[in-house]
């Protein structure tokens, strides 16, 4: 035997905090009360073991993969994860053969397909016969609208559930649970800053907390360093996340471009997520300007693409241009009110 054949001992790799904190029951699952609360549709399906193929549609970090794992555990099903990014039709057929073999043994298989919208039509069609025969229960996860990204045939055989971005309060609860895991303490104010910066993404919040706690103590400076930017302040003088966007919205609504630019600059300097601001500005274009200037929506969608394409700091100019455009544009909430009245009537 050669002296060089000695295999070094394996050093266990510590899993990321988000993975270690993954809940195992519905009671520990954060948010999504509209589908998972007592008596709500998806929870009822799970508890009665009347599961059908599902499409979970929602933004990143809201628990789509975690929910699929919980469903498999509660329904005593085999859980087969499958990535649409890494696999093709050959891999699909291999996995389906495994699922068919398990079915012959009397064991049900849940095939979880992450990023299902990345599959092309042929790849999505490959699932159909197995779904129809009952070889698998398909749970697809997507951040894109399934009406546009998932084949109609597959969509008609699945129930679509929309997951919402987590609220700041829900993420704070998750972060508080994670403090013993990172071995550090943190004030409610710091946890709220991390939660707000995560913009509804629990995974991003966990990552920030883990980095901030790496020095053994969570401080204002460690949170700032973990985020890579200055964080918003949360004192009683009005620096709160929603107060700032509300001030921007009211300034646009009041046709005051100077004030609108001031509040926008405050948010940009505080390091607010640009896409969050872009989404709110697009909302203003349809809620406040509307039919008085239909081009406002076009301008704001172009701004959103520009912000996404250019990033910081060049994209900030597009935000400023859109905010000025909306501020000086004529205002109309006619379509907003009309839809509200019709919806109430319906």
Task: Give the model confidence (pLDDT) of 93-110 as tens digits.
Answer: 777 777 777 777 777 788
Phi-psi region of 281 (alpha: psi -120 to 50; beta: other; left: phi over 0): alpha
- Residue 138 pLDDT exceeds 80: yes
- Cα(258)–Cα(266) distance, rounded to whole angstroms? 12
> Among residues 167, 236, 219, which one has the least CA distance to residue 198?
167
- Residue 1 pLDDT exceeds 60: no
Rounded alpha-carbon distances, angstroms, from residue 331 to 296, 301, 326: 10, 18, 9
3-state secondary structure of 35: helix
Phi, psi of 32 (to 5 degrees): 60, 35
What are the structure tokens assigned to 273, written together?
């997520």
Q: Give CATH superfamily name and number for 31-162.
A: P-loop containing nucleotide triphosphate hydrolases (3.40.50.300)
Q: Which CATH class is domain 241-331?
A: mainly alpha
- Residue-level pLDDT at 305: 93
- Residue 39 pLDDT exceeds 50: yes
- Residue 57 pLDDT exceeds 70: yes
Rounded to an integer, the average pLDDT of 158-180 is 89
Task: Give the model confidence (pLDDT) of 312-330 as tens digits.
Answer: 888 999 999 999 999 999 9
Phi, psi of 161 (to 5 degrees): -120, 130
- Residue 224 pLDDT exceeds 70: yes
What are the boundaries of each domain within the chain? 31-162, 168-227, 241-331
Task: Give the model confidence (pLDDT) of 146-164 as tens digits.
Answer: 887 788 878 888 888 898 8
- Residue-level pLDDT at 241: 61
The percentage of residues in the chain with a pLDDT greater than 70, rounded to a whole number, is 90
> Among residues 1, 15, 150, which one has the least CA distance to residue 84?
150
Rounded to an integer, the average pLDDT of 201-228 is 86
Bridge partners (DSSP) listed for residue 54:
139, 159
């Amino acid at each position: 035997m050669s002296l060089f054949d000695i295999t070094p001992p394996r050093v266990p790799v510590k899993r990321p905090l988000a993975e270690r904190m993954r809940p195992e029951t519905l009671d520990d699952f954060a948010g999504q009360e509209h589908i998972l609360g007592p008596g709500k549709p998806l929870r009822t399906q799970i508890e009665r073991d009347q599961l059908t193929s599902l499409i979970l549609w929602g933004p990143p970090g809201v628990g789509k993969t975690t929910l699929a794992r919980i469903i498999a555990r509660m329904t005593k099903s085999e859980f087969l994860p499958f990535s649409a990014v890494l696999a093709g039709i050959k891999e699909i057929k291999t996995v389906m053969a495994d699922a068919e073999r398990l079915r012959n043994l009397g064991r049900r298989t849940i095939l979880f397909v992450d990023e299902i919208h990345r599959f092309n039509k042929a790849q999505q069609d490959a699932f159909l016969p197995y779904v129809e025969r009952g070889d698998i229960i398909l749970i697809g996860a997507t951040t894109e609208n399934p009406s546009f990204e998932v084949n109609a045939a597959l969509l008609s055989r699945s129930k679509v559930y929309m997951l919402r971005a987590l609220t700041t309060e829900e993420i704070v609860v998750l972060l508080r649970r994670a403090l013993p895991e990172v071995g550090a303490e943190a004030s409610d104010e710091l946890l709220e800053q991390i939660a707000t910066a995560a913009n509804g993404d629990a995974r991003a919040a966990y990552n920030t907390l883990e980095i901030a706690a790496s020095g053994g103590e969570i401080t204002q400076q460690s949170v700032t360093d973990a985020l890579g930017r200055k964080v918003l302040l949360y004192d009683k003088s009005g620096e709160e996340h929603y107060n700032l966007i509300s001030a921007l919205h009211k300034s646009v609504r009041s046709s005051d471009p100077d004030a609108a630019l001031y509040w926008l600059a405050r948010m940009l300097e505080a390091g607010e997520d640009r896409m969050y601001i872009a989404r709110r500005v697009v909302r203003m274009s349809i809620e406040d300007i509307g039919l008085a200037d239909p081009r406002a929506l076009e301008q704001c969608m172009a701004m959103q693409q520009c912000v996404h394409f250019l990033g910081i700091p060049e994209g900030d100019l597009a935000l400023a241009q859109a905010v000025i455009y909306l501020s000086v544009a004529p205002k109309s909430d006619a379509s907003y009110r009309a839809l509200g009245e019709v919806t109430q009537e319906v």
